[in-house]
Chains A and B, each alone.
Chain A
Amino acid sequence: MRGRLTLAGLLALAALVAVATAERRLQATFEALSHFEESPAGTQEPDLFDGAQGEGAGTLSGATARWRDELDRSDGGGGTPAGRWRAVNGQYLRQLGLTLLLVVPVGAALSLAAYVLAAATEWAEREGWGGAARLLVASFEAPPYILWSIPFLMLALWLRRDLTWFEAPYGVYLVVVFLGFGAFVVSMFFRQCREQIRLCRPLLDSEALTGIGEVRLFARLFRLQITRSVLPRQWLYGAVFVMLFDFSFCVVDPPVHERSMPLTVFAQGYFHRLQADDVLRTYGPDREVRAIADLERLADCETLGPALSQGTRALVARPYLAFDSRLTSALAEELERALADCGEETRGLVERALVSIRLSAVDQDALLFGELSRFYAWLNWCLVFVPFGALFVLFDARALQDA
């Protein structure tokens, strides 16, 4: 027991570290963005760039502002970085609720379907229809498991696209698709249930002698044996697997989710990544190149003297800061403070560096959506990892403990 508790503690610690890191990064991003939001130059493209931010620049500029407005409205209009961070977490929790509402019943349905199939196979064998039982087994064992997902996907598309006279609720459509994802593991669950029933054959035979009907016989077996042995594990594994499938599809090409409908956490993560990719497509490397050149010029300037503190000089000496928007906000604060003390000849250099490290609207979009996409990716990994780890500790690690 102590070994399993240690394992559970280690897995929980790993999940907590991942969540805390993601949350901390998101908070830092909101804080960095709020600094540039306060500065009027931050929302405009500096003249210095001659508008050269790549083709299509500006078409997405302002997406961050719209997003921030939405967040502020949902948080009650506080407009603070902490309020926005709370709003993103609130949104994640609502979407998590929807995701769990979909995958938990689907996991149970998969396990139940596997047992019904296994019971039907056993019943067919007991009735002397061995050929039919073997055909049923082969039809699940032989084809690549993913092919079982295709009929469900077709049904979902038919419900959504072709069945025009009946407006199926979006939730029904998602459940059908998730059942299709889970159909992949039904073959494996089916095999486990068959093995479990095979182990219980002497029990079944003795019960059958009492004259109980076949349906009641298998229902009793389900209640007394299956619900205690394989069902909880299969339920959890089914839910984990459906989430992994949705996660996989939502990284490359979600076949089902529509942006205007309530989204699962995986789909929301995909749409944030899509937003980040769209912004990055319009994003030229000019800002970084110019910022590095200006920071290097500032670092080489010997007359800058006491205007810059030791800490600021250390920051200026690291031109790669231009690639880390969170650190550039700290540097911008330092340079603004130094601007009052420096001499006339160096003022121009400091101002130029200040302008070139400042985030434009496109920069802010890239930073925000990139960070949101990473935040969702880490939390989604945890969402799969936690039940998967629980499955391992609760069911599979028992064998290790008894070793």
Chain B
Amino acid sequence: MTGRSEGRPPGLPSRRWLGRRGVAPLAAAFLAMVLAASIVVISPDAHAAWLWEALQRTARSLAQATIALVLFLLLVGCLIAVLKAMYAGCGGLGPRFGTAAGLLLAVIVGLNSAPIVVYVQALRSLERELGDSIPAALPLWFLHGASVVVALLAANAMIYYFFGGFVSTLLQESRKLYVASARFKGSTLPGYLAERGQMYLLGILGPLLVYLLSFTVFTDLGLKGAFGADETGIVQTLFQSSREEGMSDRFVVFLLVLMSIVLLIWAGLDVASTALERRFREGRRPTRRPEKGGTACAAG
């Protein structure tokens, strides 16, 4: 432990806005970008325009993945509200709550058993069928974008993997003594679990974004022709390039640009998670119900 951190409780993140974990991705991102630029300068077959093209394609895929991520978090918010309603309706945790939550997850299993492309194609057919009835105010790119986002949300087993993990993490936490004793301390179980849930969601942001970014290959393939060949995302371009040209200069430049951007995002997420973790650990306390005549204190 360094001198600066003396007196800090163990496990509390450093006060620096960018932790040591965050410096490494920044340095790697810089290195990847320098390497990409070097290849463009040195190789006789490479073009400087590749860098700009790779950046554009990466930005397009990232924008789709980010919008899908935001919508996914909103969807998780809705599912949490459903779980809370189940919890209230079933009178707390127990077999009835378990069965109700199990049914909810079983429906998600059924939806996630169809591959992502099925959703892309269903949305495209719907778009074709609606045809003229679509209001002119909605531009075509918006409709295609909506197809991509909705399909990414239904991506192969994604909702099940992350939301199922969320539910089982909270259920495991609910068996811990400090949570199980919540009602004797004048608080509620959801109040105690809220912080754990927020930390879980914060922890999966990075993997979730990378997961969604990966799946843009399928939305690009499924919407082939809708956007035009020049507007496919970076992952699909890398796939196609690897199939057609193998390990070419273009493939390496595109890969390095993608990696540098993704590493920058990891560094950004690290900053955000460090700051939020500090905030949780220093300032947040489990929410308490208003006490009635000091009964909670007596129970505690």
A window 197-246: CB within 8 A of B: 240-241, 244-245
Task: List 19 A-B pairs, Cβ < 8 Å.
Answer: A7-B106, A10-B106, A144-B258, A145-B211, A146-B214, A146-B215, A150-B238, A157-B243, A157-B246, A248-B116, A249-B221, A251-B117, A251-B118, A252-B224, A255-B243, A389-B110, A400-B167, A403-B98, A403-B171
Main secondary structure of the interface of B (DSSP, over half): helix
B window 223-266: CB within 8 A of A: 224, 235, 238-239, 242-243, 246-247, 255, 258-259, 262-263, 266
Is there a chain B Cβ closer than 8 Å to A96's Cβ? no
B window 153-191: CB within 8 A of A: 156-157, 160-161, 164, 167-168, 171-172, 174-175
Is there a chain B Cβ closer than 8 Å to A147's Cβ? yes
Quick one: given A144-B213, A144-B235, are A11 and B168 in contact (CB under 8 Å)?
Answer: no
A window 111-167: CB within 8 A of B: 134, 138, 141-147, 150, 153-154, 157-158
Quick one: given A146-B214, A396-B168, are A388 and B95 in contact (CB under 8 Å)?
Answer: no
**C-beta contact mask, B97-130 vs A, less than 8 Å → 1, else 0?**
1110111011001101111111001000000000
Main secondary structure of the interface of A (DSSP, over half): helix
Is there a chain A Cβ closer than 8 Å to B35's Cβ? no
Q: Report the minimal beta-carbon distance from B222 to chain A, rounded to whole angstroms.
A: 5
Is there a chain A Cβ closer than 8 Å to B94's Cβ? yes
- Residues on the B chain within 8 Å of A144, using CB: 210, 213-214, 235, 258, 262
**C-beta contact mask, A88-124 vs B, less than 8 Å → 1, else 0?**
0000000000000000000000000000000000000
- How many A residues touch B, CB cutoff 8 Å? 50
Q: Are B211 and A143 in contact (CB under 8 A)?
A: no
Is there a chain B Cβ closer than 8 Å to A39's Cβ? no
Q: Are A3 and B25 in contact (CB under 8 A)?
A: no
Q: Are B214 and A145 in contact (CB under 8 A)?
A: yes
Q: Are A245 and B207 in contact (CB under 8 A)?
A: no
How many Å lie between the Cα of A187 and that of B98 in the bound state?
30
Q: Report the minimal beta-carbon distance from B147 to chain A, rounded to whole angstroms.
A: 14
Q: Are A142 and B266 in contact (CB under 8 A)?
A: yes
Q: Are B171 and A400 in contact (CB under 8 A)?
A: yes
Quick one: given A144-B210, A153-B242, A251-B115, are A392 and B106 in contact (CB under 8 Å)?
Answer: yes
- Residues on the B chain within 8 Å of A381, using CB: 113-114
Which of B113, B160, B168, B262 counts the most chain A CB atoms within 10 A?
Answer: B113
